[in-house]
Structure 1
Amino acid sequence: MNTFTTLFLVAALAFAAGIAQARDLGPDEALKLRDAGTILSFEKLNAAAIAKHPGATVEETELEQEYGSYVYQAELRDAQGVQWDVELDATNGQILKDHQDN
């Protein structure tokens, strides 16, 4: 095997491993996790995100499993029309990331 082929295979495997580390969870799986008490209710998670930006509205949400943790992503729009991306630990509502969407 030549060096180029080896490098290509290593890169492809690293890319595939990165993809496998995060996956979107569907509504049925998310509801099961909530009902089992593994994650907080969506209402509590949305309230925690809005508390960071009072008066904002939730436009879109997503639940992912990343590296064994559950991450709730909320896309908010504040009263001035600014869009924010807020990521929370879905098990306790702790803010992990909060940044303005460009």
Structure 2
Amino acid sequence: MKRLTALATAAIIAFSANQARAVDPDKPLTLPATVTIVDFDQMKATALALHPGSTLLDTDLDEEYGKYIYQVELEDTRGVEWEIELDALTGQVLKNHQET
């Protein structure tokens, strides 16, 4: 029974590890030929338009549950930091919230 529990735990950890991962910017991004992501400059412009006058702090392209998500961190003119998530395939804003 302990062996079965250990195997089940290992399977859950392995499955969870594959569900969300950062895309390594030093390695080419491999997407199916039918998938095209939105240009980064367009995503950056969309994020900055949500908070005019903001400064770009950080950006990441992550894969979560088979979806590609741009994560953009901004600091607005009042010094408030914002985290914005955009769908890399459509450009749709998925999340726009203040960092705590």
Distance 1:9 1:99 in 2: 39
Distance 1:81 1:13 in 2: 43
Match of 1:80 among 73, 78, 91: 78
Give, as a single letter, the amino acid of the residue that structure 1 aligns with 2:28: E
Pairing 1:38–2:36 present: yes
Distance 2:14 2:56 in 1: 32
Distance 2:83 2:7 in 1: 34
**Cross-structure match for 1:92:** 90
Distance 2:40 2:28 in 1: 13
Instruction: Identify the structure with the greater helix proportion.
Output: 1
Q: Unaligned 5+ residue runs, structure 2?
A: none
Pairing 1:51–2:67 present: no
Shift of 1:15: 3.1
Q: TM-score, normalised by structure 1?
A: 0.79
**Cross-structure match for 1:29:** 28
Give, as a single letter, the amino acid of the residue that structure 2 aligns with 1:76: L
Give, as a single letter, the amino acid of the residue that structure 2 aligns with 1:29: P
**Cross-structure match for 2:59:** 61
Q: TM-score, normalised by structure 2?
A: 0.80
SS at match of 1:44: helix
- RMSD of aligned alpha carbons: 2.4
Could you list the per-position Cα deviations for residues 44-80 of structure 1 after superposition, in whole angstroms to 9, with x for gaps in the alignment? Answer: 1111111111111111000011122110000110000
